[in-house]
Structure 1
Amino acid sequence: MEKQLFLHMNGGEGERSYANNSSLQRKIMLKAKVMLEETVTRLYSHSFPKCMKVADLGCSVGPNTLLVMSNIIDIVHATCIRLNREPPTFQLYLNDLFGNDFNTIFKSLPDFYTKLVQDKGHKSGSCFINATPGSFYGRLFPRNSINLFHSANSVHWLSQDPFLGLSKEALNKGNCHIVSTSPPSVYTTFLKQFQKDFELFLKSRSEELVPGGAMVLVLLVKTETPRRSIWEAISLTLSDMLLEKNLMLKAKHMLEETIMKLDCHFSPNCMKVADLGCSVGPNTLLLISNVVSIVDTACTRLNREPPTFQFYLNDLFENDFNTTFKSLPDFYTKLLQNEGNRSASCFINATPGSFYGRLFPSNSINLFHSSNSLHWLSQDPLLGCKDVASLNKGHCHIVSTSPPEVHKAYLKQYQQDFKLFLKSRSEELVPGGAMILLFLGNQENPRITGWEMISLILNEMFLEGMIEEEKLESFNIPVYEPTVEELRNVIQEEGSFFIQRLEILILPWDDGMSEGSDDIKAELMAKHVRAIMEPLMSTKFGAEVITEVFVRYQKKVVQLMEVEKEKLEFATLMISMTKNA
């Protein structure tokens, strides 16, 4: 498992990156396109799946990564036109080892989706792209779930050093691969490892393919013509959010209640769960641990076999999925230790993109979860509203002196976004599926928010001449904390969900922090808010300005702790909903 962390192609887009040094692999893939066309056309014409699920194994990173997906969509599109059929929905899985640079791939997806719509228009079926980190020498997907597997330039890589546990000193001394002077026993050792790996590969894929499913594999082979090969493996290495973890633990009772109902009423063979706005860090995999543990307990009580789990981690394209993927080997190991042999198979994927829109095929998810994300809006609510923005001059969020028009603009954006969120999730949930959402809310008591504090500090610095007026006027924090009434109204108007439980949790800003002075707690709060806000603020302000903002933020928190600590509270709305029949 350790090797899966470091055995991968050079990531990024630099001079020595795989993305800029893979033209040969592209040529090979293009030469194999005829076989791909033949296979995809035959596969689609015989079964006409409504949702075509394709997995590219060993996808790596760079311009070739999405090439095979483009080709498959083109081929199916052409077939649909020829047969006068509606194109299917596509669910595409990109697989590589945990150390692969998925971040670079995800950042290229917006342009890929845009080009897809430009080329195909609305005649092309919906396309949802996920990442599935892990070794293809073993199971990656639930049974009977994939229509087509593709792999190019990957299956010649073995699962491990063929000499692991053996002494190669006497056999192949001074060499790290088969060379012309290697004795037959060295070749036999490599062959034995290939046979073992490829048999496991075939067995795993046969279990995951639907009946009649297909595979197209392109890999390097040995010809009888003498030639020389050179192989190098390159390695690279590998963060803490206390408040989010504490909040998720406080909402665990709602998660347990919801999952128990789902499991008892529907008992899915494969339970599909998506965490929306997963972010990165130790809390990212906490939901998965909780879900597996709750279902395992329910199955033990009911004397049933646990289901297979398929988890989808969602966040925006720029999220650091790489760090999450590198933590998966240890997570899988711990999961087996904690749950023992009762724990069923668990497959983890990443699904980059905005949750204000579709992310998955229709009727495909059992449970959605989102924590600390849905108060973020899809865009600046004052964008294109110059008259309203001028009323809030000098501020980047709602403050106590903001006129009603500013509040209305934020509320309108929230209503528009949350309706789209609910509509998208209702289409993706199976009948009877559920959602658990945790996000910041407004309990309508006098208090100061972190967003208001940042706005006041930036205004201070602007008046002191430290910030340019143009930069401040073009910056707004796209966050809205709704009241319970505003939340209920949107859910009722959209009409797809029934509220099972709705709670409001009021906590002090320093909840969960260990004992310490006000200075220490204020420093931790400032670091926490900076970790959230820095990526957004860095689009407008330099490092010096941002550092000064949070130095002042820390001082203001200390002052409030001394005189108005009751204002340093935050409200979290916790809601459990089920999809209406």
Structure 2
Amino acid sequence: MLHVNGGMGDTSYVNNSLLQREIISMTCSIAKEAITNFYHQNFPTSITIVDLGCSSGLNTLIVVSNLIKQVEEIRQKLHKKPLEYQIFLNDLHGNDFNAVFRILPSFLEDLKTHIGGDFGTCFFNGVPGSFYARLFPSETVHFFHSSSSLHWLSQVPMGIQNNKGNIYIGSTSPKSVAEAYYKQFQKDFSIFLKCRAEELVMGGHMVLTLVGRLSEDPSKSGAYYIWELLALALNTMVIEGIVEEKKADSFNVPFYMPSPKEVEAEVVKEGSFILNLLQVSSINLNVHKTELSSLIKSMADTDGYDFAKCMQSVAEPLLIHHFGESIAEELFCRHRKIVTDCMAREEIMECINLTISLTKIK
């Protein structure tokens, strides 16, 4: 079961999710526009909002806060009665939901202070389970949101035993590996869309952001550093006999970065949604070049240190499950040095994000 590092430690997701927060900030206007359109078209007395792949920490509640504030701003201008909000936070069973629940009281107090005295009731619920299956009763959800989650597949693709020396689609991966990953993405994303179509009310909206690529060739996506740099670190440990080669060759990540065409094709094929918007955005991870990178550098001992910890906070549970805890510290120490070297050479390191805004039509 995939989950990020819980708790509040040095390598926890809570303390290493600045990149994901920046992605939410960059795509916030799309989610606000979508929920504005829904509210104007329906003027409901209650709204059910679901955050899929919510993870843990403050990032989870940033999305919810932005959406509620947007609706409340419109409601107050139009002098409508207060709404009831039903908020569902979904992630896999291993997620640290307690980290979210602990900050809910203070979050709600801050929200009430910001909105004012006529703020309606807000109900929060945790929903453990895979979003590649049904999670809610039919036609009960008004708005789905997901950020930095849908690039995770339901499983590692079958038939990629020949992906030696790689843990994802690498420059040396056989063509069959890329094909297997794409096939798994098609299957998973199609199931995801079908399930959400059944759960959304007619005219309900969905805004999804996932890591993607610009190249049509997944082996030339330019985002090699996301997994290939970790594979490099792992391979040095194989060469030195610290990790068994057979064990390393059997490890691959359930992750896929689709192109815009691939995402659009699945939406059209499934047929339940209008694609209102498909936007590509990027974040340059190289220090000295963006405000995000400056923040990372100011919080770290060395260039690239925090990006490496960001990767560790997400990938460590997967690696521990496969290899055990004994190699984790050494592996990520080596990975951190490789990332630092790449950033020192000022290699272009971009995170490409695809954001789609959908409306249910049938």
Q: Same fold (TM over 0.5)?
A: yes
2:271 aligned residue: 495
2:281 aligned residue: 505
1:407 aligned residue: 178
2:47 equivalent to 1:271: yes
Question: Is the Cα contact below 8 Å between 1:279 and 1:319 reproduced in 2?
Answer: yes
2:286 equivalent to 1:514: no
Distance in 2 between residues matched to 1:286 and 1:505, nearest whole Å: 19
Distance in 1 between residues matched to 2:85 and 2:305, nearest whole Å: 40
2:320 aligned residue: 538
2:346 equivalent to 1:570: no
1:172 aligned residue: none
* Aligned counterpart in structure 2 of residue 389 of structure 1, from 136, 148, 161: 161
* 1:546-561 equivalence runs, <5 A: 546-561=328-343
Question: Is the Cα contact below 8 Å between 1:519 and 1:558 reproduced in 2?
Answer: no
Aligned partner of residue 374 in structure 1, secondary structure: coil
2:190 aligned residue: 419
Q: What is the deviation of 1:474?
A: 2.5
Aligned partner of residue 359 in structure 2, secondary structure: strand
Question: Is the Cα contact below 8 Å between 1:513 and 1:521 reproduced in 2?
Answer: no
Aligned partner of residue 539 in structure 1, secondary structure: helix
2:211 aligned residue: 440
* Aligned counterpart in structure 2 of residue 255 of structure 1, from 16, 20, 31: 31
Taking structure 1 as reference, are residues 536 and 447 closer, same or farther at Cα in structure 2, changes over 3 Å only? closer
2:101 equivalent to 1:337: no
Question: Is the Cα contact below 8 Å between 1:262 and 1:433 reproduced in 2?
Answer: yes
2:10 aligned residue: none
Q: What is the deviation of 1:472?
A: 1.3
Q: What is the deviation of 1:273?
A: 0.5
Distance in 2 between residues matched to 1:570 and 1:514, nearest whole Å: 16
1:102 aligned residue: none
Question: Is the Cα contact below 8 Å between 2:190 and 2:270 reproduced in 1?
Answer: yes
1:303 aligned residue: 79
2:278 equivalent to 1:480: no
2:6 aligned residue: none
Q: What is the deviation of 1:380?
A: 0.9
Aligned partner of residue 132 in structure 2, secondary structure: coil
Aligned partner of residue 310 in structure 1, secondary structure: strand
Question: Is the Cα contact below 8 Å between 2:139 and 2:200 reproduced in 1?
Answer: yes
Q: What is the deviation of 1:509?
A: 2.0
Query: 1:220-275 CA deviation, whole Å, 9 max, x = no partner?
Result: xxxxxxxxxxxxxxxxxxx4321111111111110111011000001111100000
Distance in 2 between residues matched to 1:363 and 1:554, nearest whole Å: 46
Structure number, greater radius of gyration: 1
Aligned partner of residue 506 in structure 1, secondary structure: strand
Amino acid across the alignment from 1:412: K
Aligned partner of residue 245 in structure 1, secondary structure: helix
Aligned partner of residue 527 in structure 1, secondary structure: helix
Distance in 2 between residues matched to 1:460 and 1:399, nearest whole Å: 16
Query: 1:288-311 CA deviation, whole Å, 9 max, x = no partner?
Result: 111110001111222212321000
Aligned partner of residue 294 in structure 2, secondary structure: coil
1:323 aligned residue: 99
2:137 equivalent to 1:361: yes
Using the TM superposition, name which of 531-540 and 459-468 deviates more: 459-468
Aligned partner of residue 120 in structure 2, secondary structure: coil
2:297 equivalent to 1:526: no
Q: What is the deviation of 1:543?
A: 3.1
Question: Is the Cα contact below 8 Å between 2:302 and 2:340 reproduced in 1?
Answer: no
Question: Is the Cα contact below 8 Å between 1:377 and 1:417 reproduced in 2?
Answer: yes
* Aligned counterpart in structure 2 of residue 429 of structure 1, from 170, 176, 200: 200
1:187 aligned residue: none
Amino acid across the alignment from 1:450: I
Please provide the CA RMSD for this pair: 1.7
Taking structure 1 as reference, are residues 335 and 447 closer, same or farther at Cα in structure 2, changes over 3 Å only? closer
Question: Is the Cα contact below 8 Å between 1:395 and 1:458 reproduced in 2?
Answer: no
Distance in 1 between residues matched to 2:294 and 2:222, nearest whole Å: 26
Question: Is the Cα contact below 8 Å between 2:285 and 2:293 reproduced in 1?
Answer: no
Distance in 2 between residues matched to 1:250 and 1:368, nearest whole Å: 18
2:361 aligned residue: 580
2:11 aligned residue: none
Taking structure 1 as reference, are residues 447 and 328 closer, same or farther at Cα in structure 2, changes over 3 Å only? closer
* 1:174-189 equivalence runs, <5 A: none
Amino acid across the alignment from 2:342: L
Scaled by the length of structure 2, the TM-score of the pair is 0.89
Q: What is the deviation of 1:342?
A: 2.6
Question: Is the Cα contact below 8 Å between 2:164 and 2:173 reproduced in 1?
Answer: no
Query: 1:478-521 CA deviation, whole Å, 9 max, x = no partner?
Result: 10000001111111111111111110111112552435379634
Q: What is the deviation of 1:564?
A: 4.8
Question: Is the Cα contact below 8 Å between 1:499 and 1:575 reproduced in 2?
Answer: yes
Scaled by the length of structure 1, the TM-score of the pair is 0.56
2:240 aligned residue: 464
Q: What is the deviation of 1:402?
A: 0.9
Query: 1:32-64 CA deviation, whole Å, 9 max, x = no partner?
Result: xxxxxxxxxxxxxxxxxxxxxxxxxxxxxxxxx
2:128 equivalent to 1:352: yes
Distance in 2 between residues matched to 1:502 and 1:535, nearest whole Å: 32
